[in-house]
Structure 1
Amino acid sequence: MTRVNHPSNRNVAEVAWLYYIKEMTQGEIAKALGLSRPTVISYLRLARERQIVCVKIAGEHFRLNAAADALKEKYALQSVQVVPNDGLTGTALARVVCEAAAQFLPDFVEPGDQLGVSWGQTVWFVSESVPYWPVADLTVRQLIGSMANPLLPTSESCSTEIARRLSAACVNLNAPAVCTTASLAGVLRAEPIIAEQLANLVLCNKAIYSLSPCTPDTHVVQFKIATEAEISDYVKRGAIGIIAGRFIDPEGAPVLGPLDDRLIGADHATLAAMNGLLVVSGLHKAEATIAGLRGGYANHLIVDLELAEVLLAAPV
């Protein structure tokens, strides 16, 4: 190997291979390849910058054991990770929780899986932080149709970015998330391409999503899927939370209304059948989170500590 100001990826990869796989020391690599030790250090830095080496932090490091174990037992979950609040709130807290979820995601999926991806700020934050970690024969499917707002993280952008980072095949849902009338939604669902995509959502054995309370500022309103008046109507029907555009009551049971006939995406039964990874932060989502857990929509949970404590105090 020769010393160059702009080393090739092949040379950088060789140094990375010896260091990370062969477990040679930096000094041993320098001697073997005729390089200085500072050059070896520089090559290792370049290996990460060029994404030749992807660093993935094990999800276990994000767990606060006592709270996580208690939540796992109380709600019969397969895994729980609790992230310390450290004085953070709002978007800053959401990003920390989502970074933990992003590091866990490559461990959550396995070769051959089909992963359903929801949308919203939380799922988008996760997608931005997923390490570049190829998973063989993985398929990512969009759980709800497309949205028109270019300023917000849409369902297709979330699914596409996660698929890109995991080197997965991506199947987008080629229809709007919501139609102006139920009859139009019915016509679109009957279109062969859309009908096939919707039918294949049952192939998703795993899913990642967040949830929202039924408040006027919910992301469902921000994305213009529902109006504030429609949210109010679902609240009168008993709804307390929203998962992938679908409304649930305090026990996690489906709450149906006129909007459901206009939506194009996974229904309650399809969502509940998946092995779900629920990512959520903030005390304002406590009641909706409890409802989602009671309804069996999550098998894996990643939350902040303050929210975890509220979940532990709530009756099952």
Structure 2
Amino acid sequence: MYYEQGLRQTEISSRLHLSASKVSRLLKKAASTGVVRTVVSLPAGVHAELEEQLERAYGLDEVVVTDARGSHEQVLSSLGAAGAAYLENSLTTGCVLGVSAWSESLMRVAQALPRLANAAVDEVVQLDGGAGHAAAQIEASQMLGLFATKMGAKPVVIPAPGVATNRTVHDALTDDPSVVEAMSRWRAVTVALVSVGSLSSSTLVRPGGTYASAHDLAELEEAGAVGDVCFRFFDAEGQAIRSAFDDRVIGMDLDQLRKIPRRIAVCGGSEKIEAIMSALRGGLASVLITDLGVAESLAAGDVG
């Protein structure tokens, strides 16, 4: 009567001449003895069990798995939509959001993010400089500006490249008052929004005037680098790689990143599985937003 016919407990009580409390007790007993069982049927595209498995396996606070798989380009749209939805529903008042300077995934998040009616974010702070050449720095500033505009927040831009040409230039830039002031806001960041790059797919190794030379890449690979966050390369256990290249980076280091209370990594694509797994091992993210193909590989412990 209750479960199949949809009758209320008062109606059942009247029809069967039982007290309401008796009906309630019988229904509870039916559930406890297994006469009645509850089955939750998830809609297509929802992967709650896989998300919970990854949360337990990697000590994450939350995982969002998008219903897509394949190369980075194939999953970009799904990552952007999922990242935007997560930010819209999870940012709290007074938040200071730190954003890594450039990522295709994060740009898709910024583009998909609706204009937030109730501004929860006070500042959007750049966590590293632009990738190097002028076009990359412009793109990085535009992405940060888009986040700030959508969130009604104050943008804080680092007026410097992400990687200096040499250590002397690095030291000069990081002594500049405008750069020092921008970097000082890192201490206020409560939520970091980053992506994970693999050694082969990093923006630093693309043509166009970036400052990663063949020697840099060879040195990083020999040192065991598998991926980067904010141009800071790490090994298979997610630990920082010390190198001459690292000494030229103008950006938050991995130890500083780990101190941020909530660290959201939006990343996916079959070519990044090893880098993402290593970043999770190193505690570089507390929240992961990724695609189904990567999630399944992470659950299996398979780097491909």
Distance in 1, matches of 2:138 and 2:301, equals 32
> Does structure 1 residue 115 correspond to structure 2 residue 100?
no
Within the candidate set 282, 288, 293, 2:269 is matched to 282
* 1:264-289 Cα shifts (integer Å, max 9, x gaps): 11111112222211111111111100
Residues paired across the two proteins, number = 255
CA contact (8 A) 1:102 1:130 kept: yes
SS of the residue corresponding to residue 135 of structure 2 reads coil
* 1:19-70 Cα shifts (integer Å, max 9, x gaps): xxxxxxxxxxxxxxxxxxxxxxxxxxxxxxxxxxxxxxxxx99741111111
> Does structure 1 residue 160 correspond to structure 2 residue 145?
yes
Q: Greater Rg, structure 1 or structure 2?
A: 2
* 1:69-90 Cα shifts (integer Å, max 9, x gaps): 11111111111111112x6644
> Does structure 1 residue 251 correspond to structure 2 residue 233?
no
> Does structure 1 residue 209 correspond to structure 2 residue 194?
yes
**Counterpart residue number, 2:6:** none
1:178 corresponds to which letter in structure 2? V
> Does structure 1 residue 291 correspond to structure 2 residue 275?
no
Deviation at 1:301, TM superposition (A): 0.7
Which runs of structure 1 show a deviation greater than 4 angstroms over 4 or more consecutive aligned residues?
Answer: 60-63
Q: Which moved more, 1:151-160 or 1:305-314?
A: 151-160
Distance in 2, matches of 1:111 and 1:292, equals 28
SS of the residue corresponding to residue 257 of structure 2 reads helix
Q: List runs of 5+ in structure 1 lacking aligned partners.
A: 1-59
Distance in 2, matches of 1:88 and 1:181, equals 37
> Does structure 1 residue 182 correspond to structure 2 residue 167?
yes
Report sequence identity in percent: 27
| 1:257-276 map, 5 Å | 257-274=243-260, 275-276=262-263
1:197 corresponds to which letter in structure 2? A
Distance in 2, matches of 1:228 and 1:313, equals 34
> Does structure 1 residue 65 correspond to structure 2 residue 48?
yes
Q: 1:308 to 1:153 in 2, by over 3 A?
A: farther
Within the candidate set 83, 103, 106, 2:66 is matched to 83
RMSD: 2.3
Distance in 2, matches of 1:159 and 1:62, equals 30
Distance in 2, matches of 1:67 and 1:138, equals 34
Distance in 2, matches of 1:285 and 1:88, equals 11
TM-score calculated relative to the size of structure 2: 0.78
> Does structure 1 residue 102 correspond to structure 2 residue 89?
no
Return the structure number with greater relative CO, CA threshold 8 A, min gap 6: 2
CA contact (8 A) 1:121 1:153 kept: no
